[in-house]
Amino acid sequence: MFSFENIIMLWQDYWQIFIFEGLKYTLILSAIAVFFGVIFGSFIAFGRMSDIRPFKIINKYNENNNAILKAVANFNPVSFICEVYTEVIRGTPLLLQLYFFVFLIPKVLPFINQFNAVALALSFNSAAYVSELFRSGIQAVDKGQTEAARSLGMNKTQTMLRVILPQAIKNILPAVGNEFIAIIKETSMASTFFVGDLMTSYLVVRGATYLALESLIIIGVIYLVVTFTLSKLIGKYERKLNSK
């Protein structure tokens, strides 16, 4: 039967598994996912906001404003690819993406183990979300800022680096922190492949003790402590940024 004593006993006997085989890998996976998510994500964000129109020249010869020609002229392949990527990732379940990577990777890149395949899937997944955070953070900066900078003769890059990003970062950093918290919870899906994360440690302990409910409560509390602490820290940091 379920009992409080069982929880304490489980914790005493298995805390090392929960912490060092569970939480540790949950945090590692999440950190990898956010780290590469931020790197890939910023490329995707800038790709989407880029102004690469290889067929722009058509506009010059399109005198009677043909709508199809206009669409071709304004077509931005980089932005299009980035948009498709973001929509596909955000429009399909993470679990599906995990299955996809775990099955695909050994076929094309046999030297990558399952843990890394999962880490890769999480990274590609978070890249899509992070790119949207970057994009909305940048777009939230008043358009007047760009106009003021450009009117002073600053070029696009100078404007982005010296005027827009320093302001956008205040919107972006807390949002990336929240994304980290979201990923911590999402890594639980990695347990499907038994790669070692907090949820996997639950499966291990349950298998050994048949105390399902008690194990669940323990990892639930661990998830909660970690996410709650992080969200408090982010909130504090956010207030500090805004008071400046």
Partner 1 sequence: MIQTVDLYKSFGDLQVLKGINEHVAPQEVISIIGPSGGGKSTFLRCLNMLETPDSGKIFFEGVDITSEKVDIDLHRQKMGMVFQHFNVFPHLSVLENVTLAPTVVKKIAKNEATEQAMELLNRVGLAEKANESATSLSGGQKQRLAIVRALAMEPDVMLFDEPTSALDPEMVGEVLDVIKGLVKNGMTSVIVTHEMGFAKEVSDRVVFMDGGIVAEEGTPDEVFNHPQNPRTKDFLGKVLY
List contacts with partner 1 (CB under 8 A).
Answer: 142, 144-145, 147-155, 158, 162-163, 166-167, 244
Q: What is the closest distance, in whole angstroms, from the C-beta atom of residue 231 to partner 1 in the complex?
A: 25
Q: Which is nearer to partner 1, 44 or 149 (CB)?
A: 149
Q: Which is nearer to partner 1, 130 or 149 (CB)?
A: 149
Q: Which is nearer to partner 1, 162 or 232 (CB)?
A: 162
Phi-psi region of 196 (alpha: psi -120 to 50; beta: other; left: phi over 0): left
Q: Which is nearer to partner 1, 56 or 185 (CB)?
A: 56
Q: What is the closest distance, in whole angstroms, from the C-beta atom of residue 170 to partner 1 in the complex?
A: 8
Between the alpha carbon of residue 241 and those of residues 35, 178, 230, the distances in Å are 21, 15, 16
Q: Which is nearer to partner 1, 19 or 148 (CB)?
A: 148
Q: What is the closest distance, in whole angstroms, from the C-beta atom of residue 62 to partner 1 in the complex?
A: 13
Q: Report the alpha-carbon distance of residue 125 to residue 33 in Å, rounded.
A: 8
Contact present, 98 and 190 (Cβ < 8 Å): yes
Sequence-separated contacts (24+) of 211-218 with Cβ below 8 Å = 211/6, 211/10, 213/2, 214/2, 214/3, 214/6, 214/7, 214/10, 215/10, 217/7, 218/7, 218/10, 218/11, 218/18
Residue bearing tokens 């970057």: 134
Residues in the chain: 244
Q: What is the closest distance, in whole angstroms, from the C-beta atom of residue 155 to partner 1 in the complex?
A: 5
Q: What is the closest distance, in whole angstroms, from the C-beta atom of residue 161 to partner 1 in the complex?
A: 9
Between the alpha carbon of residue 95 and those of residues 57, 90, 155, the distances in Å are 44, 12, 43
Q: What is the closest distance, in whole angstroms, from the C-beta atom of residue 158 to partner 1 in the complex?
A: 5
Q: Which is nearer to partner 1, 71 or 148 (CB)?
A: 148
